Structure 1
Amino acid sequence: MEKRFRTFREFYPYYLAEHDNRTCRRLHFIGSTLVLIVLATTLITRRWELLWLVPLLGYGFAWVGHYFFEHNRPATFTYPLFSLMGDWVMFRDMLIGRLRW
């Protein structure tokens, strides 16, 4: 039976273990960076039609990392909210040097 996480604090170590491959983490970082660029561009230009790119870029890069490099199933399918939170905490941790990428 799969462990059920009640808090993000419990979940994050599991999330990091599912992102052990550096290429997978790098792809997550690239996707998250592109999401931020699209969101900023959308707000600046008010071209709301660009928002369809957000899930494509965010999930696209991450899922390529999981399927081709990490060889596991993305946590998004089982823990959607915790996984989204994990993406941004991992992004921050990579950005500030707390996590190697």
Structure 2
Amino acid sequence: MFGCRSGDYGARMSQQTFETYEEFWPYYVAMHSRAATRWVHLTGTLTGLAISAYGLARGRKRYLAALPVIGYGAAWPAHFLIEKNNPATFGHPLWSLRGDAQMIRTMLAGRDAELAETAAKWLAEHGEDGSG
């Protein structure tokens, strides 16, 4: 549905500025407009968390690296291959981390459809080519 974005769409959008996280949130969700992207994020993040927790429980602190390596290692290719955009992390790293946590909490609460609606609304208001 939203896959016709141009290759530089995500790059242009990551240059946007936002005054608050609340302004940023709908943009973040729009950069994850496809359910497959959201599920790849959720899977990568939860896998990284599980391995990190296991490592901590076993006294192996080096396992903490699993969270960013597996989390981002799964998420970033999803942007390039599924969404055809750049990760929001590139322009807004801290808000993106917060957004990822909020997106995953929303999904785990069974409200993925709410995320799809937020993405569709933001994309409709701003145009798929980012000119809106």
7, 13, 25: which one pairs with 2:26?
A: 13
In 2, Cα distance between equivalents of 1:52 and 1:92 = 22
Cα deviation, 1:40-94, whole Å, max 9, x if unaligned, reads 1122111112122221101011112101101000000100000000000000000
Give distance in 1, aligned partners of 2:46 and 2:66.
Answer: 12
Count of aligned residue pairs for this structure pair? 101
Q: Which moved more, 1:67-76 or 1:40-49?
A: 40-49
Partner of 1:91: 104
Structure with larger Rg: 2
Residue in structure 2 matching 1:45, options 58, 80, 83:
58
Moved over 4 A (4+): none
Map Cα deviations across residues 22-50 of structure 1 (whole Å, 9 max, x no partner): 11111001011112202211221111121
CA deviation after TM superposition for structure 1 residue 20, in Å: 0.4
The letter for the 1-side match of 2:78 is: G
- Aligned residue for 2:44? 31
Alpha-carbon distance between aligned partners in 2 of 1:81 and 1:10, rounded to the nearest angstrom: 14
TM-score (norm 1): 0.91
Structure 1 unmatched ranges of 5 or more: none
Gaps of 5+ in 2: 1-11, 117-132
Compute the TM-score of the two structures, normalised by the length of structure 2.
0.71
Identity %: 42
